[in-house]
Amino acid sequence: MTTMQTEHSNSTGAQGGAASFLMDHEYDGIREFDNPTPGWWHIFFLATCLFSAIYMVWYHMSPLSTSIHKDWQNQQLAEYKKIFGGLGELKGDLETIQKMRLDSKLMSVAQGIFESNCAACHGKDGGGINGFNLTDDAYKNVKTIPDIFTVVTAGANNGAMPAWSAKLTQNERVLVAAYAANLRGTRPASPKAPDPAEVPIDPWPAN
């Protein structure tokens, strides 16, 4: 492009039907139009700036906004209320665990806890992988139902079973102990054979 031209909107798309002026310079044959920055560009740019200013003031200076951490806390309170309702802090004793075993809604919650934390070693259906099979009658560190809660809380076998007291709340440990008790007698897909150290124990007391 060597000569200077005036071009019109129908061919060049200049704003508002006005002529496009070429700038009075060229670089290696490249010319530039003197078109104005599009109006909508200015409007959008100012709108994003305005949004940003309002956001910073609203989020960081006004009492109307809540922080990410406060939100999380509120949700935790709401969810715990929803799950545990008026249960308060559960005890890891026989009576409480037996009661929990019959609560299908809480056992569904417990299933989630089990699958997130326990299934890696004990299998999703409790059949055992490198952790013990929880569905048969042979146990090593458990004689009674509250023993399950104790093992979950404090761990066992040189740390092969980790202690969960720092990972799960008391209520979660009670629930997951109840869930594990319920696994006894179920039929997993590929049950692991009992370890020599495991011995058969009495059936759970009637519930």
Partner 1 sequence: MAQVTSGVETHGFHGSVEAGRAPSRRTSPAALETFVYDDAIVRMFMVATIVWGLVAFLAGLFIALQLAVPQLNFGLEFLSFGRLRPLHTNAAIFAFAGNAIFTAVYYSTQRLCKARMFSDVLSRLHFWGWQLIIVCAALTLPLGFTTGKEYAELEWPIDLLIAVVWLGFFGTNFFMTLLRRRERHMYVAIWFYIASIVTVTVLHVFNSLELPVTMLKSYSVYAGVQDAFMQWWYGHNAVAFFLTTPFLGLMYYFLPKAAERPVYSYRLSIVHFWSLVFIYIWAGPHHLHYTSLPTWASSLGMVFSVMLWMPSWGGGINGLLTLRGAWHKLRDDPVLKFFAAGVTFYMMSTFEGPMLSVKSVNALSHYTDWTIAHVHSGALGWNGLMTFGMIYWLLPRLFQTKLYSRKMAEWHFWAGTLGILLYVIPIYFGGITQGLMWRAFDETGRLQFPDFVETVMALMPFYWLRAIGGLLFIAGMLIMIVNAILTWRTRPAKYDEPVHSAPALSPVYDDGPMPEPRLHANTQFAKDVDSRVIQGWFHRVWERKPAKFTVMTLLAVVVASAFEIIPTFLIRSNVPTIASVKPYTPLELAGRDIYIAEGCYNCHSQMIRPLWHETRRYGEYSKPGEFVYDHPFQWGSRRIGPDLAREGGMRSHDWHVRHFEDPRQMLPQSIMPTYAHLLRQDFDFASVQGKVRAMAMLGVPYGEVVKDGVAERLAREQAAKIAAELEAQGGYKDMGGKKIIALVAYMQRLGTDISKPADAPAPEAVPAAPAASSARSEEPVAGAGR
Q: Is 85:78 a contact under the CB 8 Å cutoff?
A: no
Task: Spell out, one character per residue from 83 to 102, where the chain touches partner 1: x when CB under 8 A holds, - when not.
Answer: x-------------------
Contact 97, 149 (CB under 8 A): yes
Query: Closest approach of Cβ 158 to partner 1, in Å?
Result: 4
Number of other CB atoms surrounding residue 71 within 10 Å: 11
Alpha carbon distance 160, 130 (integer Å) = 9
How big is the site for partner 1, counted in residues (CB under 8 A)? 83
Minimum distance, C-beta of residue 200 to partner 1, in the bound complex (Å): 23
- Kindly tell me which of 142 and 174 has the beta carbon lying closer to partner 1: 174
Residues 6 or more apart whose CB falls under 8 angstroms from that of 133 comprise 122, 126, 127, 188, 191, 192, 193, 194
Site for partner 1 in 33-62 (CB under 8 A): 33-38, 41, 44-45, 48-49, 51-52, 55-56, 59-60
In this chain, which of 61, 64, 68, 206 binds partner 1, going by CB under 8 A?
68
> Cα–Cα distance between 83 and 109 in angstroms, integer?
8
Name residues contacting partner 1, limited to 119-178 (CB under 8 A): 119-121, 124, 129-131, 153-155, 157-163, 165-170
